Amino acid sequence: MTATASRYKPGDRMLFSLFWNYVKPHSWQLLGVIFGLLVGVGLATGAPLLINYVIEQIELGNVIEVSLLTQIIVAYIVVNIVAWFFGVIQFIFVAKLTARVIRDIRIDAFSSILENSVSFFDQQKSGDLTSRVINDTRELAESAQSIAYFFTSLFRLVLVIGVFFYFNVTLTLAIMSIFPVVIGFSLFLGSFERKVSENWRVKLAAVNSNFSEIMSKIQISKAFHREQENLSKFSEVNEATYRASIKRGFAIFIFWPITDLMKHGFTLLILAIGTLLVTQQNMPVATLILFLILSNYFYWPLITIANNYHRFQGAFASLDRITKVSKDPAAKEREDGKAVNALQGEIVFDHVNFAYLPDEPVLRDISFHVRAGQRVAIVGHTGAGKSTIASILMRFYSINSGAVYIDRNYIHDYHLQDYRQSVSMVSQKVLLFKGSVRDNLVIAKPKATDEEIWAVLDAVQAREFIEQGDGLDSIVEENGKNLSAGQRQMISFARVLLSDPQILILDEATSAVDLYTEAKIQDAIEVLLQGRTSVSIAHRLTTILKSDIIIVLDQGRLVQMGNHIELLEEEGPYAEMYELYLETQSAKYLETIKH
């Protein structure tokens, strides 16, 4: 998410327009809501006119026959039952419409998260993203039905005002004088509620994030006896959420005690002014009674409108947070990107500069040329920028300046999906999903046959431990918890083998594998590297010494480049590293090399 996006705060009109764009595709449900609204509210509002007719006849001294009175009573009951029935229809459609809109919003929010660049996830906490997709959409769903209440009340209010004006203009204008008070109160409380709701959601996201972080690092917590510290930190963020919840509850529920008090004043206003009009202007008593009966049809719709505007603030606060999960423009794929048919594997870095954070450069003026099919090893101390080069080649990040070319084409000119099918990486951090071994492998090639899968497993010599379970249907727990580090890495290697890339990136790929396991798969790696360009980030001599080019990085700068013999003769940083720690990895192998 860009800095501009994070500062952007859309207004209510824009958020409502965004919500409306999700409503429009579900036109049948919307028409059902409107039809139920018009018929139900129209009948319910017109029913009191039957009572007004009876009172007018009594006031005029007319005799009402029992049969006519019975018909009026029956009509009043039937009209209200039919109005209730259409009200039920309306809210059935409201429930369906709301569920479908929230479903679409949640899918779009999740899709937006997936489409962001890796840099977006560097700046976000998983708990916060979870809160936006799950909690905020749930809050939005609960608030979205207030839209139905809003328009139902608005339509009823318009009808009642029309009836009022028809019977007495003076009394209607006096009643409408309450508008500014109610609207002013609702705007004030709505603004306050939106602020506290946003604060509450931020605090709730902090609880989710803290919980996720603690659970993901539970082994470290256990190893260093940090249970009490974790509990204290969780209690702190939970207490902050509690205090925010109290403020939010106050903002929501203070509305009704005040509106109840105002309702009594409203009734007294109608009675006082109406009495004066009856005694001084000969307004019919039936009209005063009608106004008193319809006062609830006027006042409570007005309050509902005000309250649902206030509820809109909570919904808009949720929608605002959801829309902030926007796709990073840097991650937007070019529609005219070049298709990748078959890369040759030539790589050129031309004066590349890169920084994860402003003013903290990681790569400084990096330039090198790798011919197709060459093996490249990148070495350097921790923090030198080795893994950053791998991430740039995978297009996880965009460089700040300079250029990266693949087969003499700018790296970002290629269609991203095609490009990543031709460039694969085995990382030191193996990521496996909960599911079967087959599920974790076909990620690389969805239509792979079992024969193809077993072939790559044989290549990395993983068949033995997989057949000890249920074969390709063997269950892999989340993050491969039921597998050893070496087994996880072997599955990761097999996955990349299955994708058959033209450029292979090994980011310390055997760091989690013991020497015995590495020896088992080294022959397979040799076969894999034949005819491919490889970029290896490793400390193991078995990888470095067989490389055509060794690139030496120091604090983000390229300080040496050449093969093993050439760099030893230079007696520079590479020779120092070789003497300090490379030779400790395999004394026997070094003796063989030296002789």
More confident: 515 or 69: 69
Residue scoring higher pLDDT (141 or 202)? 202
The mean pLDDT of 485-503, rounded to a whole number, is 85
Residue 527: pLDDT band (50, 70, 90) is low
Answer yes or no: is pLDDT of 61 > 50: yes
pLDDT at 520 over 50: yes
Q: What is the pLDDT of residue 594?
A: 46
- Assign 353 a pLDDT band (cuts: 50, 70, 90): very high
Please give the average per-residue pLDDT across 360-370, as a whole number: 93
Q: How confident is the model at residue 392 (pLDDT cuts 50, 70, 90)?
A: very high
Amino acid at 454: W
The Cα–Cα gap between 315 and 146 comes to 9
Q: Which CATH superfamily is domain 347-594 in?
A: P-loop containing nucleotide triphosphate hydrolases (3.40.50.300)
Q: What span, in angstroms and rounded, lies between the C-alpha atoms of 179 and 177?
A: 5
191 or 170, which is more confident = 170
Q: How confident is the model at residue 7 (pLDDT cuts 50, 70, 90)?
A: very low
Judged against a pLDDT cut of 80, whether residue 134 lies above it is answered with no
| pLDDT given for residue 193 in this prediction | 76
In three state form, how does the secondary structure of 245-287 look? HHHHHHHHHCHHHHHHHHHHHHHHHHHHHHHHHHHHCCCCHHH
pLDDT of residue 67: 84
With 60 as the cut, is the pLDDT of residue 89 above it? yes
- 401-406 β-sheet, strand order: 360-370, 347-357, 401-406, 409-410
Residue 163: other Cβ atoms inside 10 A:
20
pLDDT at 35 over 60: yes
Q: Is the pLDDT higher at 326 or at 153?
A: 153
Residue 365: pLDDT over 90: yes
Beta bridge partners of 475: 436
Residues 6+ apart with CB under 8 A from 534: 374, 375, 376, 503, 504, 505, 506
Tell me: pLDDT of 595 over 50.
no
Mean pLDDT of 165-187: 83
Judge whether 325 and 135 are in contact, CB under 8 Å. no
Is the pLDDT at 5 greater than 50, yes or no?
Answer: no
Whether this model's pTM surpasses 0.75: no
What is the secondary structure of 295-328 as a DSSP string? HHHHHHHHHHHHHHHHHHHHHHHHHHHHHTSPPP
Instruction: Report d(CA 352, CA 213) in Å as an integer.
Output: 34
d(CA 137, CA 322): 8
Instruction: Tell whether the model's pLDDT for residue 559 goes beyond 90.
Output: yes
Q: What architecture is domain 3-330?
A: Up-down Bundle (1.20)
Determine what percent of the chain is predicted with pLDDT higher than 70. 84
Q: How confident is the model at residue 6 (pLDDT cuts 50, 70, 90)?
A: very low
The burial of 402, by beta-carbon neighbours within 10 Å (0-12 exposed, 13-18 middle, 19 or more buried), is given as middle
Q: What is the mean pLDDT of the chain?
A: 80
Higher-pLDDT residue of 585, 457: 457
Band (pLDDT 50/70/90 cuts) for residue 85 is: very high
Q: In this predicted model, what pLDDT tens digit does every residue of 395-445 receive, in sequence order?
A: 888 899 999 999 989 998 888 878 888 888 888 778 888 888 899 899 888
Cβ proximity of 101 and 26 under 8 Å: yes
Tokens of 85: 């029935």
Q: What is residue 11's predicted lDDT score, i.e. its pLDDT? A: 59
Phi-psi map region of 531: left, alpha, beta (phi>0 left; psi -120 to 50 alpha): left
pLDDT in tens, 102-129: 888 888 888 777 777 776 776 666 667 7
pLDDT at 195 over 90: no
| pLDDT at residue 513 tops 70 | no
The tokens for 515 are 């020497």
Q: Letter for the amino acid at 525?
A: I
Q: Which residues pair with 348 in a beta bridge?
A: 369, 405
Q: What is the pLDDT of residues 212-260, one digit of tens each?
A: 778 877 777 777 777 888 888 889 889 989 998 898 888 777 777 777 7
What mean pLDDT is predicted for residues 71-99? 88
The domain segmentation of the chain, as residue ranges, is 3-330, 347-594
Q: Could you give the CA distance from residue 150 to residue 478 in angstroms, rounded to a whole number?
A: 46
**Residue 312: per-residue pLDDT:** 66
Range 197-217 average pLDDT: 81
| pLDDT recorded at residue 32 | 85
Classify 331 as helix, strand or coil. Answer: helix
Distance, in Å, from the CA atom of 279 to the CA atom of 274, rounded to the nearest integer, reads: 9
In this predicted structure, the answer to whether residue 183 has a pLDDT above a threshold of 90 is no
Q: Are 173 and 291 in contact (CB under 8 A)?
A: no
Residue 326: Cβ within 10 Å count? 19
What integer pLDDT is reported at residue 523 of this predicted model?
Answer: 67
pLDDT value of residue 3: 36
Residue 61, judged by CB atoms within 10 A of its CB (0-12, 13-18, 19+), counts as: exposed
